[in-house]
A and B are shown apart, each in its own frame.
Chain A
Amino acid sequence: MSETSRRNLLAAGGAGVAAGAVGLTTGPAHAGTAEVERSATSARESVVAYVPDHRSSEVRILVGEDEVVVHDRDLATRILNAAGGR
């Protein structure tokens, strides 16, 4: 599957598909300090991550001309923690 079509699938697939897919690539929360291996399909350009609601697990990732919507509590938590300086 090409990178673009994968992104489209993530964007269109809804919470279940997106969370599952991202969970595989980001790892569990306790691995925050460990080196995480980048997948073969990871972005090779600048991206913007947007957490529209800090109470939600939703993370919107803007990459190229795509928007990838993932529901990943672990990812959202780590972004929020980083935003708080931790």
Chain B
Amino acid sequence: MSSHREAPEMAKDPVADSTDVYAFVSPDRPDTVTLIANYIPFQAPDGGPNFYEFGDDVIYDIHISNQGRATQDITYRFHFHTEVRNSKTFLYNTGPITSIASTSWNRPQFYSLTRIKNGTSKVLASKLACPPVNVGPRSTPNYSDLAAQAVHKVGKRRVFAGQRADAFHVDLGSVFDLGTLRPFENLHLIPTPAAPGVNSLQGYNVHSIVLQVPISEVTRKGDRPTDPAKASSVIGVWASAQRRKSRIFDRDQGAYVGHGPWDQVSRLGNPLFNEVIVPMAHKDAWNAHRPVNDKDYAKYVNHPELARLLPVLYPGVFPNLAAYHKPRADLNAILLTGIPTGVVPGFQNYTGPREADMLRLNVAIPPSSSPHKLGVVGGDLAGYPNGRRVDDDVVTIELRAVAGVTIPLVDPSFTPDGAASAVEDGTTDTNGDTSLTFPYLADPNGGYQTQPGTSSS
């Protein structure tokens, strides 16, 4: 979760596995939008000597749809290149890395940033440096300074690519143990005493691509919209990763050599879409398809498996949900079309009738001065599903939505079960303190500082 290891094939390819996508109007620069795509899930920070890095053989894209067609009207492309400075050592670093230009760092990584619009590519910058991973206090002293050196200005844009602490929190150990939620597992079909949630991602890192661009660069009319009611105020956002169509292992090089065009192998828009909406047998195909074709997956949104499971796993807790058999127009709007005008007062992020999994951000809605982690459900129109901020509690939001709390928005005849507005996995973000300034995600957990998890059986 939210898309960590979410599909059978992609679980074998973490370098191309998108874990989370965020899109929000920047709280510290409200004339800009920040786009974040995370990759490489479950990084144990002490996983050396070959630490984590982006794939030189992967193309990473962040797409913007601003014409209501669910097609990529603008793409920001990131292509990485790794160097080995000293071929005579096995070490990641041969001394303290005190700057990102330090020759003690044996395996620096660089990238280019390309903008594609109307089929025309323009390289905005190249040889942009990533920071090293957070090895430990001797190897990467003053890590925050190293990370700050890797924040690059490209015109009016800012960009960062490198290791960060995962900001996502969820109790994986419980939810995949037959859907139990520790705070409520006394009510589970196979009951045990209720307990606090456990953040499964605590202490793990990801690799983040963080791009901040002027709002006027991504909107339909090239302006900074101020009227939330206008269709041109909404952009769709998703990320994808591509690999070469063929990879052949070259024994002389000891490496894979790519041939042919780039094919999409991973994508992500709304959190948890592929994870808990799309059936396992179709997850890898979903990853290879573009959002514009998501009509084929609408049936899994309209009749989600999880909504059928909740009343079974928690007998007697969700009777109203169990009796509701209409297509879930609320989830269809949240995940596939955007919420039209008239459903939530003062808000819309509708991109038209074409069903497509994208984050939808109404950029005319300013950042909240007091963000609510439940976003629109909590009365904060600047949060999920209006885009997604790094601190939005999307597990709780989506869990409650699936449980029926959003059905009355489109079907006033339905009364949600009492538990629908209380259900949660009981976790909070205990990974690291996120920031209100670029690149927003917390510094990565350090390798030396890492303590192993608990043994259990």
Contact = CB atoms under 8 A, between A and B. Distances in A.
Interface of A: 46-48, 50, 62-67
B85 interface: no
B260 A65 contact: yes
Contacts of B246: 48, 50, 62
Contacts of B261: 62, 65-67
A82 B379 CA distance: 67
B248 interface: yes
B188 to A, nearest CB: 48
Nearest to B250: A46
B138 interface: no
B153 interface: no
In this complex, which of B248, B257, B261 has the most chain A Cβ atoms within 10 angstroms of its Cβ?
A: B261
Given A48-B246, A48-B248, A66 B257 contact: no
A46 B257 contact: yes
A46 B262 CA distance: 17
Q: List the 9 shortest-distance A-B pairs measured between CB atoms, nearest first.
A: A62-B260, A62-B259, A48-B259, A48-B246, A62-B246, A67-B260, A67-B261, A65-B261, A62-B245
B116 to A, nearest CB: 15
A33 B60 CA distance: 45
A46 B248 CA distance: 11
Nearest to A45: B259
Contacts of B257: 46
Interface in B255-286: 257, 259-262
Interface in B212-264: 244-246, 248, 257, 259-262
Contacts, number: 26
A26 to B, nearest CB: 19
A46 B259 CA distance: 8
A47 B257 CA distance: 11
24 contacts: A46-B257, A46-B259, A47-B259, A48-B246, A48-B248, A48-B259, A48-B260, A50-B246, A62-B245, A62-B246, A62-B259, A62-B260, A62-B261, A63-B259, A63-B260, A64-B259, A64-B260, A65-B260, A65-B261, A66-B260, A66-B261, A67-B245, A67-B260, A67-B261
Nearest to B245: A62
Contacts of B244: 65
Nearest to B247: A48
Nearest to A50: B246
A65 B262 CA distance: 7
A28 B195 CA distance: 75
Nearest to B260: A62
Given A50-B246, A62-B245, A63-B259, 20 more contacts: A46-B259, A47-B259, A48-B248, A48-B259, A48-B260, A62-B246, A62-B259, A62-B260, A62-B261, A63-B260, A64-B259, A64-B260, A65-B244, A65-B261, A65-B262, A66-B260, A66-B261, A67-B245, A67-B260, A67-B261
Contacts of B245: 62, 67
Contacts of B260: 48, 62-67
A25 B246 CA distance: 24
Contacts of A46: 257, 259
A67 B260 CA distance: 5
Contacts of A48: 246, 248, 259-260
A65 B259 CA distance: 6
A65 B260 CA distance: 4
A56 B38 CA distance: 41
In this complex, which of B244, B245, B248, B262 has the most chain A Cβ atoms within 10 angstroms of its Cβ?
A: B245
Contacts of A67: 245, 260-261
A80 B220 CA distance: 51
A48 to B, nearest CB: 4
B79 to A, nearest CB: 12
A61 to B, nearest CB: 8
A65 B246 CA distance: 10
Nearest to B263: A67
Nearest to B248: A48
Interface in B428-447: none
A66 B261 CA distance: 5
B109 to A, nearest CB: 22
A46 B257 CA distance: 10
B59 to A, nearest CB: 10
A62 B259 CA distance: 6
Contacts of B248: 48
B264 to A, nearest CB: 14
B327 to A, nearest CB: 38
In this complex, which of A48, A63, A64 has the most chain B Cβ atoms within 10 angstroms of its Cβ?
A: A48
Contacts of A47: 259
B227 to A, nearest CB: 42
A47 B259 CA distance: 7
A43 B416 CA distance: 64
